[in-house]
Amino acid sequence: MVWLSAIIRRVMGFEDANVKNENPVSIFIAKKGDANTQVKLGRLYYEGEGVPQDYREAEKWYQLAAKQGNAEGQFYLGLMYYNGYSSEHDYMDAMSLFLKSAEQGYVDAQIMLGCEYEEEANDYCAEKWYLSAAKQGDPIAQYRLGQLYENEDGLLHDIRETVKWYRLAAEQGYASAQLSLGLKYGLGKGVAQNVEQAYFWCLLACTNGDSYIYEHASEIRDIYAKQLNETQIANIQKEAQAWMDSHND
């Protein structure tokens, strides 16, 4: 599931140096009940960063944070249960924790709920949680919401809403949304057909995406390139570079 791997890659990142370099003081603070520090320690044990990997120890710290109502702790604990890292808890326990976290506005929990409801073909509940996260500006949620509206067999099909949410995610550099928006321009679905815009967004997707996205986006980009002259292509490439420069500040 691409959506799940995207969330896990994000939430399991260790960009914050404070997470990598915990010390006895942090452990002392966590034992005194600081929920944020408890979550950090849980992450360390979950990943085995600087300490031996220990799911039981990770679960212990997540539980301590979650019991205090910490939304992040609830989410991470739910993610452990969701992935089967506890013999005493199951999928329903995970969903209960995701719900508690989501109700506090925690974006990743809202997306997880949206994805699970979408898997169950419960479009209205999926929309509710995707929308909650999307309104907070999350590009994964915006993209998933766009996909939900794009589904012609679904109850919420609305191609204009699809384009709206794809565009919001694409403007944040989310490659899947950029590719999808490019396709909409190429086909003229939900927006006036515009091959130049189609090429532009596919070009950006090639730059921002992983190898899977690049493979598909580059193939589609080249199809649109055949419908443009050299001057048009050169101008669009300049626009794309300017876009990337302005969005990398």
6 domain residue, yes or no: no
Q: What is the 3-state secondary structure (H, E, C) of 63-98?
A: HHHHHCCCHHHHHHHHHHHHCCCCCCCCHHHHHHHH
- Band (pLDDT 50/70/90 cuts) for residue 8 is very low
Residue 181 has pLDDT above 70, yes or no: yes
Most confident among 1-5, 46-50, 210-214 (mean pLDDT)? 210-214
- Which residue among 147, 172, 197 closes a domain? 172
Mean pLDDT for 227-244 is: 98
Confidence bin at 18 (pLDDT 50/70/90) = very low
Closest by Cα among 223, 215, 169 to 198: 223
Q: Tens digit of pLDDT for each residue in 215-231?
A: 999 999 999 999 999 99
High-pLDDT (> 70) share of the chain, %: 87
- Res. 62: pLDDT tops 50: yes
Cβ atoms within 10 Å, residue 47: 16
pLDDT in tens, 143-180: 999 999 999 888 899 999 999 999 999 999 999 999 99
| Confidence tier at 23 by pLDDT (50, 70, 90) | low
Mean pLDDT, residues 50-72: 95
In a domain, 32, yes or no: yes
Of 2-16, 53-67, 194-208, minimum mean pLDDT range: 2-16
188 & 129 share domain: no
In a domain, 212, yes or no: yes
For the chain, the domain total comes to: 3
CATH number at residue 119: 1.25.40.10
* Phi/psi-derived region of residue 173, left when phi > 0, alpha when psi is between -120 and 50, beta in every other case: left
More confident site: 52 or 222: 222
Residue 197 has pLDDT above 80, yes or no: yes
Q: Which of 38, 70, 95 is the last residue of a domain?
A: 95
pLDDT the model gives residue 7: 56
Identify which of 144, 153, 227 has the alpha carbon closest to the alpha carbon of residue 185: 227
Question: By residue range, what is the domain housing residue 224?
Answer: 174-249
Q: Would you tell me how many other CB atoms lie within 10 Å of the CB of residue 19?
A: 18
**2 falls within a domain:** no
The pLDDT tens digits of the residues spanning 120-133 come to 999 999 999 999 99
Same domain (yes/no): 36, 73: yes
Average pLDDT, the chain: 90
Taking residues 201-210, what's their average pLDDT?
A: 96
70 and 115 part of one domain: no
Residue 58 to residue 117: CA distance in whole angstroms: 27
Last residue of a domain, one of 139, 157, 172: 172
